[in-house]
Amino acid sequence: MTIEPIAQSHERLLIIDFGSQVTQLIARRLREQNVYCEIHPYQNVDAAFLAEFDPKAVIFSGGPDSVMREGSPRPPRAVYDLGVPIMGICYGQQVMMQDLGGTVEAGEHATAEFGRAYVTKTTAQSDFVDGWFSAEDGREQVWMSHGDHVSKIADGFEVLGTSPGAPFAITADVNRRFYAVQFHPEVHHTPNGAQLYKNFLSIAGFRGDWTMAGYRDQAVAAIREQVGDAKVICGLSGGVDSSVAAALIHEAIGDQLTCVFVDHGLLRMGEAEEVVTMFRDHMNLSVIHAQEQDLFLGALEGISDPEVKRKTIGKLFIDVFQKYADGIEGAAFLAQGTLYPDVIESVSFSGGPSVTIKSHHNVGGLPEKMGLKLVEPLRELFKDEVRALGRELGLPAHFIGRHPFPGPGLAIRCPGEITREKLEILRKADAVYIDQIRKHGLYDEIWQAFVAILPVRTVGVMGDGRTYDYACALRAVTSVDGMTADYYPFSHDFLGETATRIINEVKGINRVTYDITSKPPGTIEWE
């Protein structure tokens, strides 16, 4: 399976993926330099693919295999005859060396390197390492992760940098513009790594023509061509991805788009009104506000098992979405906010066979059931590019920068049985907490923050009276992708002030705790 590129008019770089855990980071580093790139697993890349893709440069990723193993992953030989610059990283470096006549040896203790290492400059000169080595001591910190190592470099290459375990840490054949590094310049622990990519792109002559303004025009044209005069339905969740997808599609086809916003009664304070007002009144989108609070809350009555809650919400969500979508006559397309990481996952040789459908507010399975085709205008973009595109389309900054919010909403922040009373208390406490975070200028430092209302009431004293009210837990985490997370280190002053405000301002809560669990072992949400 290959991905149909829509970015034909951009200068393109091809990343051939040999299975490294961090290949996506290479793409991130390049996109940050306004260069369009695509990751394709090595099995999908042959001479015909190269001719069609027509890359301006190629990068070989790292990978877990050993080039000394018979049948280990290779690029097609034709890649070396394209006449474009190539950069090999780790496994990619070893592949390049072996393909071009060098030698790779198995790692022994003396040469295997994992973790932080320092590369020292040689006397050889190349634009590839321009501005890279520290001016102070001529060495640079890098992140290594290799067992095997290159023991003889191919003809035409010279050494630009060495490390104790990798005598050929950076090599280059400047005539052919082939560059190879043993370490991973894309990771955080190679602090100056972006400079190497910058140099490589400059050698390859990239102009940096990948911008969200350009993407917007091109995507609008592509959507018009795909959809023609058919109608499109979009499930609006209020999250960034579906919001940006809706705004973009609306720009392309106007009234042919109808959005369905399912209000399950588990949203935060003022959220439904904010989303509907913004899209319907300010952006003139056709939005159906499906007021189904009674349906959802009724079905959830008496349920306290987290999985049963999730399944109940997920199933109802699909039923409700379908009911409203069925009422939109002539709909032929369903819009989805699929992002590039999901696409890579679905085509990578280590990934699953299909796009990962993340959650309940996604309407997985519906397109086939309803005979709808998909419009996925964000499938080339990373999350921060989606945010940039959202700004480009005029969505308000505070909306674009909002913390993620789960499909099942407040249901999974209300352990135990859900009642309307508890949801009301939770909404108020959450609003005070987020207000505190914003007032202290901490919102953007935090990946996600929310209040969970606990299924326990405790005794307190307010004024001269006894109280017997709910306890709540504040949660705030830092994270890059939600897969791992750490609790946010608020000051005691902040926590004290916030607890006081919640207890004073929210009737029904008389005790506030702070959750200091990281993920793992905890999860971010409470259920």
Residues that bind ligand XMP (CB under 6 A): 358-361, 404, 406-408, 448, 482, 519, 523-525
Q: Coil, strand, or helix at residue 485?
A: strand
Alpha-carbon distance 32 to 34, whole Å?
5
Q: Whole-number minimum distance, CB 218 to ligand XMP, in Å?
A: 28
Whether the Cβ atoms of residue 510 and residue 503 lie closer than 8 Å to each other = yes
Provide the 3-class DSSP secondary structure of residue 382: coil
Token code pair at residue 267: 């949203």
The least distance separating ligand XMP from the CB of residue 398, rounded to whole angstroms, comes to 18
Catalytic annotation, residues:
90, 184, 186
Minimal distance in Å, beta carbon 397 to ligand XMP? 20
Smallest distance from the beta carbon of 411 to ligand XMP, in angstroms? 9
Residue 309 or 511: which CB sits closer to ligand XMP? 309
Contacts with 92 (C-beta within 8 Å, 6 or more apart), sequence order: 16, 18, 59, 60, 61, 62, 63, 180
Token pair recorded at residue 222: 């592509």
Terminal-to-terminal C-alpha distance of the chain: 36
Q: Which residue lies nearer to ligand XMP by CB, 180 or 245? A: 245
**Least separation in angstroms between CB 521 and ligand XMP:** 11
Sign of CA dihedral 66, 67, 69, 70: positive
Q: Which is nearer to ligand XMP, 82 or 477 (CB)?
A: 477
Residue 312 Cβ, how far from ligand XMP at the closest point, in Å? 12
- Could you tell me the CA-to-CA distances from 382 to 24, 287, 429 in Å, in that order? 10, 26, 33
**Closer to ligand XMP by Cβ: residue 99 or 271:** 271
In this structure, what DSSP letter does residue 412 have? G
Q: Minimal CA–CA distance to 83: which of 15, 178, 199, 207?
A: 178
Q: Choose between 345 and 525: whose C-beta lies nearer to ligand XMP.
A: 525
Q: How many helices (H) and strands (E) does the chain have?
A: 15, 20
| Sheet-wide strand order for 113-121 | 36-41, 12-17, 57-60, 86-89, 178-181, 166-173, 158-163, 113-121, 139-146
Closer Cβ to ligand XMP, 160 or 290, answer by number: 290
Q: Which residues pair with 146 in a beta bridge?
A: 113
Helix runs in 228-358, H state only: 240-253, 271-276, 293-300, 306-326, 340-347
| Main-chain phi, psi angles of 400, to 5 degrees | -65, -35
Structure tokens at 438: 């914003």
Q: 78: which 2 tokens?
A: 């034709």
Indicate the residue among 256 and 448 with the shorter CB distance to ligand XMP. 448
> At CA 141, angle to CA 135 and CA 146, rounded to 5?
145
Return d(Cα 378, Cα 40) in angstroms, integer.
18
Which residue is closest to ligand XMP by CB? 359
For 156-189, the DSSP string reads T-EEEEEETTEEEEEEEETTTTEEEESS-TTSTT
User: Nearest distance from residue 485's CB to ligand XMP, in Å?
Assistant: 7
The minimum distance between CB 525 and ligand XMP, in angstroms, equals 3
Which is nearer to ligand XMP, 211 or 479 (by Cβ)?
479
